[in-house]
Chains A and B, each alone.
Chain A
Amino acid sequence: MTLTPPKTADELLDMYYHDLRSYLLEVAAGFDRIERAGNTDDHRLAKLRAIATIAVDDNPDRAARLLTTLSVD
């Protein structure tokens, strides 16, 4: 049986807004860092771009889909 979150979506956004802002900023700065150093065609960079889109898309189960995308067959 799932748990019913005691807090509302707005309350949760208040709680996590600065964390999420910080994590997304780290992602953006990381891509900038690699690009400044001349970039690379390492396949892991494409993987990171792919999962970044999952993280902010409009569908549920983002974390599970992100991890599944990274998984080997």
Chain B
Amino acid sequence: MKVIEPHIHMIARTTADYERMALMHTAACCEPAFWAGYDRTSPQAFHDYFTHITEFEPTRAAQYLIDHYAYVCINPKEAEDVAFSKEVISFLPEFLDKPTVLGIGEIGLNKNTRNELTVFELQVEMAVERDMLIWIHSPHLDDKLKGTKMLLDCLRSHSGVNPDKVCFDHMEEHTVGLVKDAGYWASLTIYPVTKNSPARVVDTLERYGTDRMMVDASGDWGPSDPGTLHYALFEMRKRGYDDDTVEGVFYDNPCTFLGQCAKFAHQPRAGK
């Protein structure tokens, strides 16, 4: 059974994690651009970061037969300064043209501010102009519901947005229905404490179905583990679901979403 990891920050992981992912049959992974744990001090620092995730990480992943893809953006945690953000946005096209970049992400909201929303909209417009994928970061914890509603309202006002090409990440029980009802993709992030557990991921799949749903480990520099994606897969099998249904969630669905970008090399299994 093959697996696609739709969201992980490999820049923060050791090579041993690539090896573990390969041993667990991960065929490809996607790395959206995000916060480094500190605010970058210049737009040039973002340029260096984007170079890293579009040049070095694909090479490192290839040693373990994993295809590495990326999204680039100015992330919501560093988007409060609109002028600074515009400088970063000015050189996004240089990276969007690279062969492993699938779209713009992870954009969204952090503290649900007006400036964050302005920067989000600028990047949505760039993705729409280029007909690229959009990977959305929904705020964490107590700000998630309000932020998700703000993002949905914002996208509703942009007529050019194709919901097929937009995924809302870090969805939980109180937000996933809103996103699916609006026609977007939803991804369920597994984190040891602050997001979903493997069991809750399977609960949500039971409740909302597998259509337009993905699962990710979102591993980064904090308490997280690329292996949790595979724990969720195992949880689904333990709950009695057949391998065809499980592989549909963990391989076919990400292939369907990501395959809307011609640069993505994997396809769903035959007939899926």
Contact = CB atoms under 8 A, between A and B. Distances in A.
The judgment on whether A and B are partners is: yes
Interface of A: 1-3, 5-7, 12, 15-16, 19, 61, 63-65, 67-68, 70-73
Contacts, number: 55
7 contacts: A2-B209, A7-B240, A64-B174, A64-B177, A67-B145, A71-B143, A71-B144
A7 B245 CA distance: 15
Contacts of B141: 70
B211 interface: yes
Contacts of B143: 71-72
A3 B205 contact: yes
The prevalent SS among residues of B at the interface is helix
Contact of B208 (A2, A5, A16, A65): A2
A67 B210 contact: no
B146 A72 contact: yes
Contacts of B208: 2
Given A3-B209, A65-B174, A70-B141, 15 more contacts: A2-B206, A2-B207, A2-B208, A3-B206, A3-B245, A5-B206, A12-B239, A15-B238, A67-B144, A67-B173, A71-B142, A71-B145, A72-B142, A72-B143, A72-B146
Interface centre among B144, B145, B172 (most CB of A within 10 A): B145
A56 B206 CA distance: 20
Interface in B184-204: 199-200, 203
B241 interface: yes
Between A19, A67, A70, A71, the greatest number of chain B beta carbons within 10 A of the residue's beta carbon is seen for A71
Given A1-B209, A16-B199, A64-B173, A6 B144 contact: no
Contact of A68 (B174, B203, B211, B245): B174
A3 B146 CA distance: 28
Nearest 4 pairs of A and B residues by beta carbon: A6-B240, A71-B145, A64-B173, A67-B174
A33 B242 CA distance: 43
